[in-house]
Amino acid sequence: MKNIENRSFEIYIKTKIIFGVDSRFRIGRILKNKNYQKVLICIDKNIIKLKYINEIFDNISGEGIEYEIYDGVEINPTIMMIMDACQKFRKYNFDCILGIGGGSSIDLAKGISVALTHEGNIYNYVSEIENQKKLITDAVKPIIAVPTAAGSGAEVSPVSVIVDQRRKLKTGFFSEYLFPLVAVIDPVVHTTLPPKTTAECGLDILSHAFDAFVSPYSNSFSDALAIKSIEMVFKNLKSAVFDGKNLESRSEMAMASILGLIAIYAGKGGSTHTIAEPLGGLYNIPHGYACGVALPAMMEFLLSDCSDKFAVIYRNINKSFNPEEEDEDLAKRCIKETKRLILDLGIDPPWKEISNPDIGLLSKYSIKHMAVDRVPREITRQDYVKLYEEIFGKSYF
Ligand SMILES: [Fe+2]
């Protein structure tokens, strides 16, 4: 499968990244310099009262810029939420949309931007290859992303992951026009993120980087970013979870998030996500949690084909490896170490959340997932059935 043709890639990242401690205080000036006078802020109502968030609001109004707030964001945002926001705010002519929050807020900001600027039914713009009827154009409102979590990488991605609640299916919008214009990444803002969410978001990063690294389309560009991102997650995620005010760990995780997303984009990966997204769409569980439970199963499935890559990962996360050991042994250690990390973070297997999983439907969604050809070994619907049975089995982990 791996050949020279697979290594060709295109990458275009439009987003200006402003990264650093206290960069939140630059947001008002960024908007002002672009001559924006009225902005829509798309935010989760659970974080709206936090000190750092209010500092952002004050910073924006301090520059004389008006804003309206849409706070209907929830995990796994839906097309209904986009329609709700449009109904409330269509009458305003916003200059741009700020997504403040985790991936859900930023993804929803992107979806709202499409709906406010494109004619007709929003479902026509959904990016499923066979169903997308209309293309997203450059008419979208500019998006400014202010992530409050290190995880989804939505701040530097051209994707908006949205649930089609009619089918309980994760789908969304994909277009180069959906890259945020600016991403303001201030790790100080991340220090208030609760431990459980920090852990889940961190496992989303690990899955992006892992999926990129094992992808049949990976290349030296994506490999470099992926391996660095994996290394940073193993080094910093536990301290970000259990010592949330640790600015060094928060900063490293915020950086790992960007690297992981660009890696999966450039390396055209997605193995773990063929399981995590159906799980999230059907059972409304956080995406990072779904990644955390999907990752070990996918690693076991890929072990025989990817032991050389797993060995590379292990050598990078555990510098005291035994150089005499074969790749196969190091690869098994890599899986063990990944499971250990997930367990140490307190991620439980999903049978507590989902008592009666519909493995038939999950496997159907997985085999139809747009990233299924990015799994680096042939995979069938029956393989997915086995993977889900393993995930929901009592001996998982
Ligand atoms: Fe993800």
Which residue spans of the chain are classified as CATH 1.20.1090.10?
195-391
Q: Ligand 1 mean position to 355 CA, how many Å? A: 24
Going by C-alpha positions, the residue among 178, 223, 127 that lies closest to residue 12 is 178
Q: What is the pLDDT of residue 128?
A: 66
**Ligand 1 centroid distance, CA of 218 (Å):** 17
What's the 123 CA to ligand 1 centre distance in angstroms? 22
pLDDT of 131: 60
Rounded to the nearest angstrom, the distance between the alpha carbon of 299 and the centre of ligand 1 is 16
Distance in Å, CA 288 to ligand 1 centroid: 7
Q: Helix, strand, or coil here: 176?
A: helix
CA–CA separation, 112 and 78 (whole Å): 11
Contact predicate 172/108, CB 8 Å: no
DSSP secondary structure letter of residue 137: -
User: Cα(193)–Cα(270) distance, rounded to whole angstroms?
Assistant: 26
pLDDT of residue 133: 76
Tokens, residue 320: 């005291």
Residues of the chain with CATH 3.40.50.1970: 16-190
Q: How many other C-beta atoms lie within 10 A of the C-beta of residue 11? A: 11
Query: What is the whole-number distance in angstroms between the Cα of residue 38 and the centre of ligand 1?
Result: 31
Distance of CA 260 from the midpoint of ligand 1 (Å) = 9
pLDDT of the residue at 139? 95
Query: From the CA of 328, how far away is ligand 1's center (Å)?
Result: 27
Q: Does domain 195-391 have CATH number 3.40.50.11540?
A: no
- In the reported structure, the alpha carbon of residue 33 is separated from the centroid of ligand 1 by a whole-number distance in angstroms of 33
Tokens of 241: 């979870």
For residue 224, how far is its CA from the centre of ligand 1 (angstroms)?
19
- The 8-class DSSP code of residue 19 comes to E
Fold of 16-190: Rossmann fold (3.40.50)
Digitized pLDDT (tens) for each residue of the chain, 397 residues in all: 457 777 788 889 999 999 999 999 999 999 999 999 999 999 999 999 999 999 999 999 999 999 999 999 999 999 999 999 999 999 999 999 999 999 999 999 999 999 999 998 998 999 865 566 789 999 999 999 999 999 999 999 999 999 998 888 888 999 999 999 999 999 999 999 999 999 999 999 999 999 999 999 999 999 999 999 999 999 999 999 999 999 999 999 999 999 999 999 999 999 999 999 999 999 999 999 999 999 999 999 999 999 999 999 999 999 888 889 999 999 999 999 999 999 999 998 777 778 889 999 999 999 999 999 999 999 999 999 999 999 998 777 7
Write the secondary structure of 306-330 as one string of H (helix), E (strand) and C (coil): HHHHHHHHHHHHCCCCCCCCCHHHH
The residues placing their C-beta within 5 Å of ligand 1, an ion, are 204
Taking the centre of ligand 1 as the mean of its atom positions, its distance from the CA of residue 121, in whole angstroms, is 27
**pTM tops 0.75, yes or no:** yes
